[in-house]
Amino acid sequence: MVSPAVAAQDGLVPGHGTRVEIACDESGSEGGKLVGGTTDVLAHASVAVDHEVATAWLDEVRLRARSPASEVKASVVLRLQNRAVLRDLLGPAGPFWADGTPAAHVHLVEKRYLLVVRFLALLGLDGPDDPAPEDVHRVLDGDWDGVLTAFNDLLRARERASLLDPMGPALAAVVGHWSRDCSVVVDVVHDEHRTLREAGAVRLRALCDPVGLLGEVRFVDSRDDARVNLADFLAGTARRVASEVLANRVDDGVAELVELVRPFVGAASTWGDRVSWAVLAPRAVVSP
């Protein structure tokens, strides 16, 4: 195990300075395909972890999970036989905590709900006097899946899938979290992602401007940055957990993971299903 002393990460949590660098990765991204894909949830994770701490933990995970792969993915730590490894990763002595404060963040997107929001906006039904998207989402539930699918397919066929892709807004939400009311400049190191790279720094800053200060953006291969690999662990775990909760498949194993992931879940996540959100929503953090 990495010792608590090594994992202290002093000075890396926003509020200790005017600039912070976060490492990011996502799980569940399928571009503008929000329904009918292989995933119903997108999780975008960001971590403020020192290089040496991340490398030490990655070596520890590789050793304990007995993985010979050069890149250990979230699917490895999610295996039942590696549950103890995952507990240690997400627990209070792990790399995602610093002095009792979360040093990581996850923005969750319920894809179908996001499509409802976009659909209502297209119809001009997104004003203050119109029904709230979450109410429409709840009342109609599965009754208009065909309409949503057709809307999704239409925009994608007309090469307007970028209007639906949740990655840009998810990155903005992450930057808003770390920027702390625009008091901290957030530099981003992100796993390679075509949509974000093609958007360019100017557009990404424009997306972030209302909520936070985006500084430099660098794209890397997660195999070359252990911090990004740690973000992959968190994103993959959060997506799996959120998807199970959304489908009302919460057994004891999922319930345990919910408690481990929930301190990192962003309150501003894009989520419309009230029942599952009551399970996933972050609670006030009590120092471990």
| For residues 186-209, average pLDDT | 92
What is the band of 123 on the pLDDT scale with cuts at 50, 70, 90? confident
- Segment 243-263, tens digit of pLDDT: 999 999 999 999 999 999 999
Q: How far apart are CA 120 and CA 37, in angstroms?
A: 21
Statement: residue 70 has pLDDT above 80: no
The pLDDT value given to residue 136: 83
The pLDDT score that the predictor gives to residue 89 is 96
Per the CB < 8 A criterion, the answer to whether 167 and 195 are in contact is: yes
Rounded Cα distance between 199 and 212, Å, is 18
Kindly provide the residue ranges of all beta strands, DSSP E only, lying in the chain, ordered along the sequence.
19-27, 41-47, 97-98, 101-102, 104-110, 185-191, 213-220
- Indicate the pairing of strand 41-47 with strand 104-110: antiparallel
As a whole number of angstroms, the distance between CA 228 and CA 87 comes to 19
238 CB-contact burial (10 Å; exposed 0-12 / middle 13-18 / buried 19+): buried
pLDDT of residue 284: 63
* Cα–Cα dist 234/89, whole Å: 9
CA distance 195 to 165: 8
Burial 217-226 (b: 16+ CB within 10 A, else e): beeeebeebb
How would you class 193 by CB atoms within 10 Å of its CB: exposed for 0-12, middle for 13-18, buried for 19 or more?
Answer: middle
Domains of the chain, earliest start first: 11-271 (3.30.420)
Tens of pLDDT, residues 159-187: 666 678 999 999 999 999 999 989 999 99
| Residue written as token pair 């009551």 | 278
Burial class (CB in 10 A: 0-12, 13-18, 19+), 177: buried
- The torsion angles phi and psi of 214, rounded to 5 degrees, stand at -90, 125
Work out the mean pLDDT of the chain and round it to a whole number.
87
- Residue 30 C-alpha from the chain's centroid: 14
Helix axes 226-246, 83-90, angle to 10 degrees: 110
**pLDDT tens profile 48-66:** 999 999 999 999 999 999 8
User: Is residue 270 within 8 Å of 108, Cβ to Cβ?
Assistant: yes
Which residue, 133, 188, 143, is CA-closest to 21?
Answer: 188
**Angstrom distances, CA of residue 51 to CA of 6, 48, 128, 226:** 11, 10, 46, 7
- For residue 188, the SS3 value is strand
